[in-house]
Amino acid sequence: MISRDVFHIRLKDIEIQAERLIDPSMKKRAIAIISSTNSTGSVRCVSKEAKQQGIFVGMKVSIARKIDHRIQLLPYNRTLYHQINNYIYRSISSFTPIVEPEGFGTFFLDMHGMESIRGSMKNIALSIINNISDKTNLFSTVGISTNKLVSRIVTNVVPNRIYKVHSGRERKFLAPLDPTVLPVGREKIINRLLKFLWIKNVGQVQSITKDIDTSRIFFGIHSTAIIRQSNGYDTSLVKPIMFKDHIIEQTIIPQDTNDMTILNAVVRDLSEQVALKLYKRRQIARKLRLEIHYTDGYKVQKLADKEKINYLSIVNTCRKLFIKANQRRNRIRTILIDAWDFYPHTNQGNLFCNKEEYSTALLEAIHKIRSKYGSKSIRTIDVFHALKET
């Protein structure tokens, strides 16, 4: 009989890993990713170095700033994390056709029957995490079991890069763990009851729920769920999810600045990179978003909606969005451009050339050169100086 193997891939603190991927200078710095720059905002994710300084998830931004002003507070860059998440999704989809993303940095893989094709499950898991590391330089772990519930718990509690719970050993694996590893154990009512009963591990839950009537007395409508979960029983299927198509370009400016000459050059370079991709796809974007991240953690974005944005008009559109968005004197750290909602682009020719068609022909010639030799093969002097390494 072919075993049913479910992988759970977890990239722990993918937000921190992503920020360090695009800006290696933060590799050993204390970092906290925040929900908002307001004093009422909270910390969403922290690096190991920040934890050592006393910063923790859920802490108010105002308190985090008081604890250590040297900690780098970064706005929650959902677009960046989404982009990296999509890339990893496409990468691991080559190992199995059934992949279910579960938030940022976590994925379920249905590997049913793959052992006969690819060999040992642990070898497949090793190939997957090596593939992720080679392509993105991100660290990941893999939990393997016969169902989604146990596989997810494995990556949550086991530090090993690869760990497998064999069929029939789910109950024994769960027994010594804290009851809050179970989804039902985090329910407010159940959590309070477990504390009241002084239940310290899942094994005690297993003992209490051996008798169905006793389980119903203690846990009421949750008794069925807690019996199933405490014994590692889960029949839910791995369900693939389709991602929306986006073109995203982002730049970390070599040196934080509010110099408009440099910033305009950066916007131009980013918009030309998006234009090149639109040109290759022969598509027009209906929606375009420009996002600015300041050094103090503040984020501003402006949207161009329901417009016909093609590779000819995108540079001018991005310039206008940047002018609208940049209303602060603070230095800027990152600029991002996101285009989506595409449809095919058709160009009706004209027997008589005019000034606009000469400009179009010039842009198309530039895009052809960049398509062949790379986006950096042709650059204006302002872009060259703005983005040169410092």
The fold of 1-166 is Alpha-Beta Plaits (3.30.70)
> Please, what is the Cα angle at 361 between 358 and 363, to 5 degrees?
110
Same fold, 1-166 and 246-387: no
Q: Tell me how far apart the alpha carbons of residues 219 and 224 are, in angstroms, rounded to a whole number.
A: 9
Predicted pLDDT at 383: 62
Q: What is the pLDDT of residue 64?
A: 85
Q: Over 169-228, what HEC string results? A: CHHHHHCCCCHHHCHHHHCHHHHHHHHHCCCCCHHHHHHHCCCHHHHHHHHHHHHHHHHH
The burial of 99, by beta-carbon neighbours within 10 Å (0-12 exposed, 13-18 middle, 19 or more buried), is given as buried
Strands 43-46 and 31-34: antiparallel
- Which stretches in the chain have pLDDT values below 70? 1-3, 116-117, 241-244, 306, 345-364, 367, 370-390
Is the model's pTM score more than 0.85?
Answer: no
Class of domain 246-387: alpha beta
Q: 337 - beta bridge partners?
A: 249, 290
Strands 72-75 and 31-34: parallel
What is d(CA 247, CA 79) in angstroms, rounded to the nearest whole number?
A: 11
Show me where the domains of the chain are located.
1-166, 171-230, 246-387
Q: Residues 69-119: pLDDT tens digits?
A: 788 888 888 878 888 888 899 899 888 888 998 888 899 999 887 776 677
